[in-house]
Structure 1
Amino acid sequence: MGASDFVNLPNIGTSVRRKEDYRFLTGGGQYTDDITLANQSYAVFVRSPHAHANINSIKIAAAKAAPGVLDVFVGEDVAADKINGLPCGWLITSTDGNPMKEPPHPILAQGKVRYVGDHVAMVVAETLEQAKNAAELVEVDYDVLSAVVRVTDAAKATALHDAAPDNHCYKWAIGDKAQVDAAFANAAHVTKLDLTNNRLIPNAMEPRAVIGSYSRATEEYVLYVSNQNPHVERLLLTAFVMGLPEHKVRVIAPDVGGGFGSKIYLYAEDVCLTWASKKLNRNIKWTADRSESFVSDAHGRDHSSHAEMAMDKDGKFLALRVHTDANMGAYLSTFAPAVPTILYATLLAGQYTTSQIYVEVDAWFTNTAPVDAYRGAGRPEATYLLERLVTRCGWELGLAQDEIRRRNFVKDFPYQTPVALQYDVGDFHALLKRGNELAEVAGFEQRKTASAAKGLLRGMGYSCYIEACGLAPSNIAGALGARAGLFECGEVRVHPTGSVTVFTGSHSHGQGHETTFAQVVAARLGISVDAVDIVHGDTGRVPFGMGTYGSRSLSVGGTAIMKALDKIETKAKKIAAHLMEASDADVEFANGEFTIKGTDKKVTFGQVALTAYVPHNYPLDKLEPGLNETAFYDPTNFTFPSGTYICEVELDPATGVVRVDRFTAVDDFGNIINPMIVEGQVHGGLVQGIGQALLENCVYDPESGQLLTGSFMDYAMPRADDMPNFTLDTLCTPCSHNPLGAKGCGEAGAIGSPPAVINAVLDALKPLGVIDFDMPASPSRVWEAIQSAKH
């Protein structure tokens, strides 16, 4: 079944209400912290108050003697048990042919701490209160060292690791530098831009939580964890850190209250509790408080870049040249090296036919929390740089923001970019045209005049993004440094009554899998959506899976399910043919019924299901009983969602306050299964992207390395009243290489919106002489920029 056939089935393209919402809205969800096991104890971590220090000694006697304490663990205990450090899941090779520098990342600090929040000791006690009290009794003697937090200062700072004495992790590049340099030498005009993509702190509604459990009777571990990919968590934990047989470890990720990338990784707490549960023969729970989340969750973004665009006299892009310094933080998190390389540089072609591109990336260690994938993972950083630069190109050449883009759009597909990716389908002109219509661009000057009458400035900004989703295929990803496969698994189990249970490796943490996947299966089998249950998040029940991130759930996980359904249909046709005394080659299946071509014979899907399990009239000589199939799917290419975003802001020059007045988003997600869920995903992404552009900003003190934005008092999360009513629409060019024709939608809003907002802010500030600005456009920063321009 192809994408064009599938999209016409019942339930597809329908806004079915989410099946999972009843339990969430009525308090019936079960998150990790809701679980209480028998004989449960509690862990509290002693964390470093210093960004960089040698550990002279750790005194734990008083803490161990405190009421209710079961034990206190430090780095020496970890080393004695030969527990390895946290592994990095992606290897980058430097331009000189050497592998990146990969310093050890111990689960409890050994000899040195490298950022505020680094794990120094773990206290386990009967109650949480007892563990907290005992943690305060742990005495650590530190020899404080100088710290570095800015990526641009890393090269000349004190070394964090012996393995990286210059704090340099890798230098990576893509593109033909000689051809790019030649294009610049012959260009009619060159536009240059320096910009920073500010560091962000993920703030999922549910903080990270872990329960470690061990059974001496079976020698089995169970890890309950708020995580986006349980099978990858188990693989890293067993094969690379603890050296355990994989079949002896079960990872269960129950309901997860948001992840946005920050819950993809194997964290130190996960390993510590698993390891200690056997040592103490106790179930152990740890739940982060919000302050711990600020310092210990993997952060996002944090790039400093210089970009240049070479153009001919008509504004046609000839070549792009980029250098980026990427902050890795104190250690390499699970997928960190891939973010500023494979997931960033390969997207710098954008929607444009720039014939030559050269990108060079230097990655550095600093005394900050590790940085990793955060909603969009490299794609927001690429889009921000490119769309800021394209807007500047238009301004310098006197071309309208839409015109400079229109002149350079890719028109013919498939299109091979100069930075490795090949776009299969798209219609960028149609997206821009529809965006201009919905944004009422023709009336902008009138609205700008009305704002001026009130003493306010009005600006309009564009962003035309493209992203790569469903990272694939595994052999290419492996060649690019991935240390794991990137396939997905789906199992479809048909029950005797005709109801179905689906087991998927794509884990849901807010995306609505239990509804969307049920719609896919129900449409294919001609049964009710309510007759389909979706199981995910449990390595003990799901065969395998690579988890949820990179907007891969439907295009990769959904396709695995479709392939399992192909097998179900093939076998079911054989059973139906036997029941109707016909050849299976003559059997057709549609709307839940099997029919014989040219006759009125038919049997229902329910009849076939029952026959498979009650095989009284069954071709036992040819078929096994039962109707249960599993399939794995490894994509042949990325999918490429794209869109045009247009933001309109009103700005008060007296106070610097920026108000987003209008925001229009037109996206191409391929075929859409549930428009309501897609709309919700776009809304969420837009809020996160606008939040970065106007409000959110992680700040460390440049001298001490202390986190200055360590709470919601200092880190400004967006609220409902910061947002306008969004105007949304979708156009569709179905993905050409998966049977659903789906592309992915979960990250688009966060990718396309930041440059649209900042371009709008700069458009408003241009008359005052402000030509550059870095996120976030907070009132104080905008006001200061205005004052600086006056002098």
Structure 2
Amino acid sequence: MGASDFSRLPHIGESVRRKEDYRFLTGAGQYTDDITLAAQSYAVFVRSPHAHAKINSINTDAAKAAPGVLAVFTGADVAADKINGLPCGWLITSTDGQPMKEPTHPILAQGKVRHVGDQVAMVVALTQQQARDAAELVEVDYDVLPAVVNVADAAAGAVPGAVVHDEAPDNRCFQWAIGDKAAVDAAFAGAAHVTRLDLVNNRLIPNAMEPRAAIGAYSRASDEYTLYVANQNPHVERLLLTAFVMGLPEHKVRVIAPDVGGGFGSKIYLYAEDVCVTWAAKKLNRSVKWVAERSESFVSDAHGRDHVSHAEMAMDKDGKFLALRVHTHANLGAYLSTFSTVVPTILYATLLAGQYGTPQIFAQVDGWFTHTVPVDAYRGAGRPEATYLIERLVSRCAWEMGLSQDEIRKRNFITQFPYQTPVALQYDTGDFHACMNKAQELADVAGFEARKAASAAKGLLRGIGYSSYIEACGLAPSNIAGALGARAGLFEAGEVRVHPTGSVTVFTGSHSHGQGHETTFAQVVAARLGIPVENVDIVHGDTGRVPFGMGTYGSRSLSVGGSAIMKALDKIEAKAKKIAAHLLEASDADIDFQGGEFIVRGTDKKIPFAQVALTAYVPHNYPLDKLEPGLNETAFYDPTNFTFPAGTYICEVEVDPATGATRVDRFTAVDDFGVIINPMIVEGQVHGGLVQGIGQALLENCVYDRETGQLLTGSYMDYAMPRADDFPNFQLGHVCTPCTHNPLGSKGCGEAGAIGSPPAVINAVLDALRPLGVKDFDMPASPHRVWQAIQNAKA
């Protein structure tokens, strides 16, 4: 079945209400913290108050003697049990052919601490309060050392003695590049105009509604472990935990990720706390539970972004792009997180073509260790960083060339597909002009000047900003990813189990943490089989029940996970046709399946799907010589290419020049997600992404003290999270060019809003401030930063 045929089926394109919401809204959800196991104990971690220090000694005597304490573990105990450090899941090879520096990441610090929040000891007690009280009694003697937290300082070697790991004495993890440098240099030499831009993509702290949590359990009877964990990909968690860290047989470990209250990338990884509670469960022969406090999450959950870049665009006299040159310093933090190295390389630099037919591109990325929380994928994962750079640069090009922001984009849009970019990716389909045109129509760009005049009458500055993004979703074929350094496959699995009455249970390797899989996947199955949506249940998040899958991230759930389910449904339909043919006394080649019925082509002979299902399990009249009983099929899907959602976002802001306060007055987002299964869920995903992206542009900013390495934005008192009243009503629109290489025609929608919105906002603010002589400033556009930029322009 092709994507065009699939898109016309019932249930596809319908805004079916989410099946899972009743459970959540009535308090019947089950999150990790809701689980209480037999003989449950509680863990609390002692964390470093210093960014960089030598551990001289750890005195645990008082803590061990405290009421209710079962054990206190330190790095010495970890080393004695030969527990390995946390692995990095993607190997980057430097431009000199050497592998990246990959220092050990111990689950409890050994010898040194390397960032504020680094875990030094774990206290386990009968109650959480007892564990907290005892943790206060652990005495650690530190010898404080110099710390470097700013990536530019790390690159410049500006802090003597601030070496994060001995294996990387200059703090460089890797130097990586892509593109034809000689061709780019030649294009720049012949350019009529070159636009240059320096920018910072600010560090973000993820704040899912549910903090991370984990419960480790162990059964002596079966020698089996169970880990309950708030995680986005339980099979990968199990693989890393068993094969790389604890050296356990994989079949002896079950990982269960129940309801998860948001992830945004921060719950993809194997964290030290997950290993610690699993390890301790056997040592204590009782379950061990840990739930992060919000302030603890600020210094223990992987952060996002944190790039410092220089970009240059070479153009001809008409503003046509000739070549792009980029150099980025990426802050990796104190340790390599699971996917940290791929974010600023493969997922970032390969998207620097954007929507534009730039003939030549060269990008170099240097990854640096610093004394900060590790940095990894956060909603968009490399794609927001690439889009911010290219879209900020393109608007700057427009202003310098005397062109409008839309005109320079239209002159350079790619129009022929498939399109091979100079940075490895090949876009299969798209219509960038259609997205731009629809966005301009919905945004009423024609009325902008009148609105600008109205703002001026109130003493306010109004600006308009454009962003035309493209992202790569679904990740690449496993063999290509492996050649690029991936240490895992990138396929997905789906099992479709048809029950005797015709209802269906689907087991998917994808994981839902707010995306609505229990509804969307059910719509896909119901559409194919011609049954009610309510007759389909979706099971995920349990390595003991579902086939090996790769979880949810990178907007891959429907395009990869859904495609695996479609392949399993193909097998179901093929077998069901053989059963139906036997019952109808026809050849299976003459059987059509539509609307939930098997029909002998050219006749009125037909039987419903439920009858075939019952026959499969009650095989009294069944071709047993040709078919096994039952109707249960499993399939794996490995994508042949990324999918490429794209769109144009237009933002209008009002700025008060007296205070620097900026208000988003209008925001229009037009996206091409290919075939959309559930428009309501897609709109919710876009809304959420826009809030996070605009939040980065205007509010959010993780700040460390440059001298001490202390986290200055360690709570909501200092870290500004966006709220509903920070936003206008979003105007959304869609264009559809179906993906050409998956059976659903879908492209992915979960990250788009966070990718396309930051440059649209900042371009709008800069457009408003251009008459005052302001050319640039870095995110976030807080009132103080905007006001300071205005004052600097006056000086």
Q: Settle same-fold status: TM greater than 0.5.
A: yes
Distance across 2 between alignment mates of 1:437 and 1:623: 57
Report the residue type matching 1:88 in the other structure: C
Give the alignment of 1:366-515 within 5 angstroms: 366-515=370-519
Q: How does 1:272-351 map to 2 (within 5 A)?
A: 272-351=276-355
Superposed, 1:79-118 pairs within 5 Å as 79-118=79-118
CA distance in structure 2 between the partners assigned to 1:532 and 1:267 by the alignment: 34
**CA deviation digits over 1:693-723, x for unaligned, max 9?**
0000000000000000000010000000001
Q: Match for 1:507: what amino acid?
A: H
Supply the distance in 2 between the matched residues of 1:597 and 1:27 (Cα, whole angstroms). 50
Q: Distance in 2 between matches of 1:448 and 1:664?
A: 17
Q: Secondary structure of the equivalent of 2:341? A: helix
Distance in 2 (CA, whole Å) between partners of 1:472 and 1:584 is 36
How far apart are 1:487 and its partner, in Å? 0.0
CA displacement at 1:543 relative to structure 2 = 1.1
Give the 3-state SS of the residue equivalent to 1:344 in structure 2: helix
Please give the alpha-carbon distance, in whole angstroms, between the structure 2 residues aligned to 1:99 and 1:67: 49
Match of 1:151?
A: 151
Deviations 1:456-484 (A, max 9, x none): 00000000000000001000000011000
Report Cα offsets for 1:504-548 as digits up to 9, x if no partner: 000000000000000000000000000000000000000110000
Give 1:243's aligned residue: 247
Q: Which amino acid aligns with 2:125?
A: A
Structure 2 residue corresponding to 1:543, chosen from 525, 547, 552: 547
Residue 737 of structure 2 is matched in structure 1 by 733
Structure 2: how far apart are the matches of 1:317 and 1:332? Answer: 36
> Which amino acid in the other structure matches residue 775 of structure 2?
I
Q: Does 1:702 align with 2:709?
A: no
Aligned to 2:54: 54
Q: Which amino acid aligns with 1:527?
A: I
For the pair 1:650 / 2:654, whether they are aligned, the reply is yes
Instruction: Give the 3-state SS of the residue equivalent to 2:269 in structure 1.
Output: coil
Equivalents in 2 of 1:643, 1:35: separation in Å? Answer: 42
SS of equivalent residue, structure 2 residue 54: strand
Q: 3-state DSSP class of the match of 1:506?
A: coil
Which residue identity does 1:572 align to in structure 2? A
Separation of aligned partners in 2, 1:513 and 1:669: 17
Show the 5 A alignment for 1:603-682. Answer: 603-682=607-686
- Matches of 1:311 and 1:289, distance apart in 2: 51
CA distance in 1, matches of 2:557, 2:327: 32
Q: Take 2:450 and 2:282, find their aligned partners in 1: how far apart are those partners?
A: 70
Q: Which residue of 1 aligns with 2:768?
A: 764
Q: Which amino acid in 1 is paired with 2:520?
A: T
Residues 176-235 of structure 1: per-residue CA shift (max 9 Å, x gap): 000000000000000000000000000000000000000000000000000000000000
Partner SS state of residue 489, structure 2: coil
AA aligned to 2:127 is: T
Structure 1 residue aligned with 2:205 = 201
What's the counterpart of residue 595 of structure 1? 599
| Matched residue type, 2:613 | A
Residues 127-180 of structure 1, C-alpha deviations (whole Å, 9 max, x = no match): 001000000000000000011110011141321111111100000000000000
2 CA distance for matches of 1:472 and 1:412?
A: 22
1:788 shift after superposition? 1.0
Q: Deviations over 1:717-772 (max 9, x none)?
A: 00000011000010100000001000000000000000000000000011111100
- Shift, 1:286, TM fit: 0.2
Shift of residue 567 of structure 1? 0.2
Displacement after TM superposition at 1:773 (Å): 1.2
Corresponding residue for 2:128? 128
Is 1:583 matched with 2:592?
no
Aligned counterparts of 2:789 and 2:136: Cα–Cα separation in 1: 45
CA apart distance, 1:271: 0.2
Q: Name the structure 1 match of 2:37.
A: 37
User: AA paired with 2:618?
Assistant: V
Runs (5+) with no aligned partner, structure 1 = none
Post-superposition offset of 1:497: 0.4
Q: Which amino acid aligns with 1:532?
A: V
| 1:163 is aligned to 2:167 | yes
Supply the distance in 1 between the matched residues of 2:729 and 2:624 (Cα, whole angstroms): 61
User: 2:601 corresponds to which letter in structure 1?
Assistant: K
Give a deviation string over 1:659-699, Cα, whole Å, max 9, x none. Answer: 00000000000000000000000000000000000000000
TM-score by length of 1: 1.00
Equivalent pairs, count: 791
1:380 aligned partner, one-letter code: P
Letter in 1 for 2:438: R
- CA deviation profile, 1:410-437 (whole Å, cap 9, x unmatched): 0000000000000000000010011111
CA distance in 1, matches of 2:586, 2:575: 14
**Equivalent pairs: percent with the same residue?**
84
What is the aligned partner in structure 1 of residue 21 from structure 2?
A: 21
Provide the rounded CA distance (Å) in 2 between the counterparts of 1:783 and 1:409: 35
User: Deviations 1:581-612 (Å, cap 9, x if unpaired)?
Assistant: 11101001000000101111111100000000
SS in 2 for 1:347: coil
CA distance in 1, matches of 2:441, 2:631: 51
* Matched AA of 2:144: V
AA in 1 matched with 2:103: P
SS in 2 for 1:200: coil
Counterpart CA distance in 1 for 2:436 and 2:500 is: 51
2:524 and 2:187 mapped to 1: Cα distance?
A: 49
2-structure distance, mates of 1:129, 1:361: 46
Give the Cα separation in 2 of the matches to 1:79 and 1:577: 64
**Residue 555 (structure 1) shift:** 0.2
Deviation at 1:312, TM superposition (A): 0.1
Answering whether residue 750 of structure 2 is matched by residue 746 of structure 1, we say yes
Paired residue for 2:139? Answer: 139
Q: Whole-Å Cα distance in 2 between the matches of residues 312 and 680 of structure 1?
A: 41
| Aligned-partner Cα distance in 2 for 1:160–1:468 | 33
- Cα displacement (A) at 1:658: 0.2
Backbone CA RMSD of aligned residues = 0.4
The code of the aligned residue for 2:357 comes to T
| Cα separation, 2, equivalents of 1:741 and 1:459 | 37
Please list the CA deviations of residues 107-137 of structure 1 after superposition, one character each: whole Å capped at 9, or x if unmatched: 0000000000001000000000100000000
Q: Distance in 1 between matches of 2:602 and 2:257?
A: 50
Aligned counterparts of 2:181 and 2:416: Cα–Cα separation in 1: 26
The one-letter amino acid of 2:33's match is: D
Corresponding letter in the other structure for 1:199:
R
Alpha-carbon distance in 1 for matches of 2:208, 2:536: 29
Deviations 1:537-582 (A, max 9, x none): 0000001100000000000000000000000000000000000111
